Amino acid sequence: MRLRFVTGNEGKVREAREYFDGIAEIEQVSFDYTEVQADSIEEIAARGAREAFASLDGDDPVFVEDSGLAIDALSGFPGPYSAYVEDTLGIERVWSLAADEENRRARFRSVIAYASGDRSDPDVETFTGSVAGTLVSPRGDGGFGYDPIFAYNGTTMAEMGTEEKNAISHRGRAFAAFAEWLSQI
Ligand code: IMP
């Protein structure tokens, strides 16, 4: 099975290829889908998958993945603004905001939207995953994004290998739900 992963993020592609090794071939496709303000990230992802599938050539199914970090003590910030905040403040500044708080709990959430079938009227399915952890001073060279400041059981996601991260991460959990569904169609 061949699946097109619509993303410009090499880290996400590495994780998808590791997870789907032996299950599906993952082809990376770059396409800037519209991230409309919508009620839920499921809705944003579903629209993105539909738009990419309709706009790209070819009939191989496509999927998109959207994620975000929510810090408990900061009322869920940066949430839907996670990418913007990483680009503008940077993860060290996000860590320093959390460092001032007693409660350093945070959660990552991932939504995958998969579009297949008829490109003008596709079937769209969404899958989600989340992981709770603790924010820490940056450690580790692996992963991407907020990985150096997000610890799970004392280890940051940047200190984990790809397989190890997939086993516990928000995206790994969404991949698991997606793979389970794919195995039944
Ligand atoms: P997006 O889903 O690509 O829009 O990512 C939203 C933000 O979350 C970006 O700043 C990413 O770098 C960050 N992010 C997404 N997934 C992860 C992850 O697995 N680890 C660390 N940061 C992540």
Atom of ligand 1 nearest to the CA of 82: 7
Identify the pLDDT of residue 185. Answer: 87
Q: How far is the CA of 88 from the centre of ligand 1 (A)?
A: 14
Question: Is residue 130 within 6 Å of ligand 1 at its C-beta?
Answer: no
Radius of gyration of the chain (CA): 16
Query: What is the domain count for the chain?
Result: 1
Atom of ligand 1 nearest to the CA of 65: 2
Measured CA to CA, the distance from residue 149 to residue 134 in angstroms comes to 8
Residues of the chain below pLDDT 50: none
Q: Which residue has the tokens 């809705």?
A: 43
Identify the pLDDT of residue 39. Answer: 58
* DSSP state at residue 81: G
Question: Is residue 162 within 6 Å of ligand 1 at its C-beta?
Answer: no
Q: How far is the CA of 118 from the centre of ligand 1 (A)?
A: 30
Measured CA to CA, the distance from residue 139 to residue 136 in angstroms comes to 8
Q: What domain range is 127 assigned to?
A: 2-184
Identify the pLDDT of residue 105. Answer: 98
- CB neighbourhood size of 75 (10 A): 8
Identify the pLDDT of residue 155. Answer: 98
| Residue nearest atom 9 in ligand 1 by C-alpha distance | 83
Residues 114-161 have pLDDT tens digits of 999 999 899 999 999 999 999 999 999 999 999 999 999 999 999 999
Measured CA to CA, the distance from residue 172 to residue 178 in angstroms comes to 10
